[in-house]
Chain A
Amino acid sequence: MLKSKLFSIHRICREMRATLWLGLFLVLLFLLPSQAWCQISIEIDRFSIKKFNIAIPDFTNLNVDETYPELSTALPEVVSHDLDLSGYFTPMDKAAFLETADGTLSPDNRSWSAIGADFLLMARYSVIGRNLEVEARLYDVFSGRQIIGRRFLGKVEIYRALMHRIGNEIMYKVIGRNGMFLTKLAFVSTSTGHKEVYISDYDGYNVEQVTFDESIALFPRWSPSGDKITFYSLRNGDWMLFLTNHTSKKVRTLLDRKGLYSGASWAPDGKRLAFTLSQDKPDIFILDLTRETVERVTSHGGINTSATFSPDGKKIAFVSNRSGSPQIYVRTLESGREERLTFQGNYNQSPSWSSLDRIAFSSYEKGRYNIYTMDSNGRNLKKLTEDQGDSEDPCWSPDGRYIVFSSNRRGEYHLYIMNENGQNQRQITFLKGAQTSPSWVAD
C-alpha cells in the first residue's frame, strides 16, 4: 500500500519535472519548492520502491562507411552499467523492445510504455578522426517528453568517460543530483602475488598498477583533490608512508618514523593527514602538510588507530580498544573531548566518515564481518550486509551516497559497491587475487 502510494507520488513528481522542462517552472516554483522534490526521491530510495525501468536500444551508427560498428552496443553498455550501479535504474532487456514495421525503433511512447519502460535513451554516434560525437536523447515514456537532448564530444579511445558523462547527465535530470560515474578508486590487489596499489574507474574498469614494490603496499588513500595518493609500504624493510603524484608518477617519502603503523587519512581540506605512530603505544598523530608539523592527538587507553576526518575537518572518528575490545570513538580536535559511538557488538573497526555525516564501519560478529552505518553521534544504526560472507573496509563515495567495500562472498576478496542503504550490492573488480582497502575520490 505504502509502496504503491509512494510510487504514484513519484510518477506525479516526474511528470511535474517534465513539465518544468517545458518552461512552466516559475509557476511550479511557487507551488512546490524544489527541495521537496529531492526529499521525495530520498524517501523512495529509503523504502526501496521500484527502480526506474530504462530502455537503452543500441546506438545508431551515423558513420558513412559504417566504421566502428562495435560502438553501437559498447557505448550503450557503459550507460546501462552505470545506471544499474546507481541503484536507481533497471536497464531493460533489449529482447523485449518492440520494433516498428520497418524494423527500427522509434521514440513513440506507446510501444515503450507497453513493455513497462519509464525512460528511453536513444542515441546516434559518429567518429571523425579520433573524435567521437554522440547525440543522446532521453525521453520520459509516461509523458512522452524529451528530458535530455545533447551532443557529447570526446576521444574515441576513452569512450567510457564520454558515456559516464551521459550517465551523470541522466542522474542529474532524473534523480536530481550528480552521478558518481566519473569518480575513481584506489585499492590494494594481490594480482602479481604481492600486495600492490592499483587505481581504476569507479566501476572497476581502466585498472592501472601504481606501485611495483614487490613488497607489501597497503592503505592507498586519494587526496581529496584526486591528484595524489598516499600509501604505506614495506619496500625499504621498514614501514614508511609514501606520497605518489598521480600525474607526474613521482613517489616521495612522506613519513619515515620508527613505529609508524598505518596509512594516512586525509582531512577534507587536503592539508592535514592523520596516521598512527607508536612511540610507546599506537596513537593517532596529525601531520600538517603546510606547517610541516606532527602533533600527537590521542593518548588514552591501549590502541588508538584508523582515524577518519569529519566532513568539516573538526573531528576525527577512530578505533580504540580502551574498553577491552575495538570500538569506534569520536574526538573533537579543538576541545579534545572523546566519546564512544559503538556499543553494539564487541569488535567494531574501520570507520569511514561520509560527506553527509554518516559513519560506516565493519563489525565482527559470529565469525563474520558485516558493514553498518550510523549517524556521527552513534544513533540511527543500520546493518547493510548480512549472510554474504565477510564484508569489510567500507569507504564512502565522495557524495556520501554509496559505499565501496571488500567482500569474500564469492570466494576471494573483491570490491563491491552498494547504495548508502545497503541495496544494489554489485561486484566491480574481477582481477586475479584479492582486492581490498578501497579509497574513493571525485573526478
Chain B
Amino acid sequence: MNKKTMTVLIALTVVCSALFLMTSCAHKEAVTEEVTTPPPSGPTEAELQAAREAEERAEQARREEEERMRQEAMVRQEMEDFESVNIYFDFDKSELTAEARAVLVKKADYLKKNSRYAVRIEGNCDERGTNEYNLALGDRRANAAKDFLASLGVSKDRMTTMSYGEERPLDSRSNEEAWAKNRNDQFVLVK
C-alpha cells in the first residue's frame, strides 16, 4: 500500500465515523421527543366556535355595562344639571327674565323626556323685606316658573310649588352679590 491509499483510507474512516455519530445523535433526539410530548389531541371545530361566542358575549356584556353606566352617568348628570341650575329674579320682582325663560325651556324639554319625574319648584327671596311678604313673593316666583313650564307643555299635575321666603339663603352675606344669588327658584325632581 502506498502512502496515497493510506491517506484516503483514514479520511474515509473519519468521515464514516462522523456520519455514524451524527446519525446516532439524531436518532437519540427523536426518541426523547417521542417520550415527552403527548400525542396532539386538537379541539373540535364546535368547541372552538363556542369559546369564541362566549368571549364575544362577555365582551358584549362588558360593552353594554359600560354603555349602561355611561347612560346612567348621563341621566344623573342631566338630573344634576336640571336641579342645580336655578333661575334668578330682580329685586321685589316675580317676572321671569329672558335668561330665566331660556333656562326654563331646557327644563321643559327635560321634563317632557323624563315623564316619570315630577318637579317641586321652590321660590326664594333675599333678606330685604318682611318674612311674610317674602313668603308671598317666593310663592309668586315659584308660580311664575310653574306657569311658564305649563305653557311649554309640562302638565301642571307634575309640578308643585313651595316658598321659603327669605329663610333659606344660598349666600348668607348682606350685599348685592349675595342678594342676587338668593332671589331664585330652585328645582327638585320628585319620583
Q: Which residues of A contact B (CB under 8 A)?
A: 195, 216, 218-219, 234, 238-239, 258-259, 261-263, 276, 278, 280-282, 302-306, 319, 321, 325-326, 347, 349-350, 362, 364, 392-393, 437
Contact = CB atoms under 8 A, between A and B. Distances in A.
A261 B136 contact: yes
Interface stretch (B2-10, B66-74, B123-131): B123-131
Given A280-B143, A303-B140, A347-B92, 4 more contacts: A262-B136, A304-B136, A305-B133, A347-B129
A238 B140 CA distance: 17
B130 A306 contact: yes
A258 B139 CA distance: 11
B167 A282 contact: no
A276 B132 contact: yes
B163 interface: yes
B129 A276 contact: no
B92 A393 contact: no
8 contacts: A219-B132, A259-B139, A276-B136, A303-B133, A306-B130, A326-B133, A350-B130, A437-B131
Given A261-B139, A325-B92, A306 B132 contact: yes
A23 B18 CA distance: 164
A349 to B, nearest CB: 5
A326 B137 CA distance: 10
Contact of A281 (B129, B139, B167): B139
Contacts of B167: 195, 216, 218, 234
B119 interface: no
A305 B92 contact: no
A265 B131 CA distance: 14
B87 interface: no
Contacts of B182: none
Contacts, number: 75
B132 A305 contact: yes
A393 B130 contact: yes
Interface in B51-99: 92, 94
Contacts of B162: 238
Contacts of A303: 133, 136-137, 140
Nearest to B129: A349
Interface in B143-162: 143, 160-162
Nearest to A302: B140
Contacts of A218: 131, 167
B139 A262 contact: no
B133 A278 contact: no
A219 B176 CA distance: 27
B104 interface: no
Contacts of A305: 132-133, 135-136
Interface of B: 92, 94, 128-133, 135-140, 143, 160-163, 165, 167
Contact of B130 (A259, A302, A321, A349): A349
B91 to A, nearest CB: 10
Contacts of B133: 303, 305-306, 319, 326, 349-350
B135 A302 contact: no
Contacts of A362: 130
A282 B140 contact: yes
A291 to B, nearest CB: 25
Nearest to A307: B132
A195 B137 CA distance: 20
A427 B15 CA distance: 128
A313 B130 CA distance: 24
A262 B143 contact: no
Contacts of A278: 136, 139, 143, 163
Contacts of A364: 128-129
B79 to A, nearest CB: 21
Contacts of A234: 167
A282 B139 contact: yes
Contacts of A259: 139, 161
A420 B162 CA distance: 38
Nearest to A321: B92
B96 to A, nearest CB: 14
Nearest to B174: A408
Contacts of A216: 167
A306 B139 CA distance: 15
A347 B137 CA distance: 14
Contacts of B135: 239, 261-262, 276, 282, 305
A261 B94 CA distance: 16
Nearest to B162: A238
Contacts of A258: 160
A126 B35 CA distance: 124
Given A216-B167, A280-B143, A302-B94, A392 B130 contact: yes
A302 B143 CA distance: 12
B143 A281 contact: yes
Contacts of B92: 321, 325-326, 347
A282 B128 contact: no
B69 to A, nearest CB: 33
A276 B133 CA distance: 10
List 10 A-B pairs, minimum CB-CB distance, nearest first. Answer: A282-B136, A261-B135, A303-B136, A305-B136, A278-B139, A350-B130, A349-B130, A262-B132, A306-B132, A216-B167
Contacts of B136: 261-262, 276, 278, 282, 303-305
Most chain A CB within 10 A, of B133, B139, B167, is at B133
Contacts of A326: 92, 129, 133
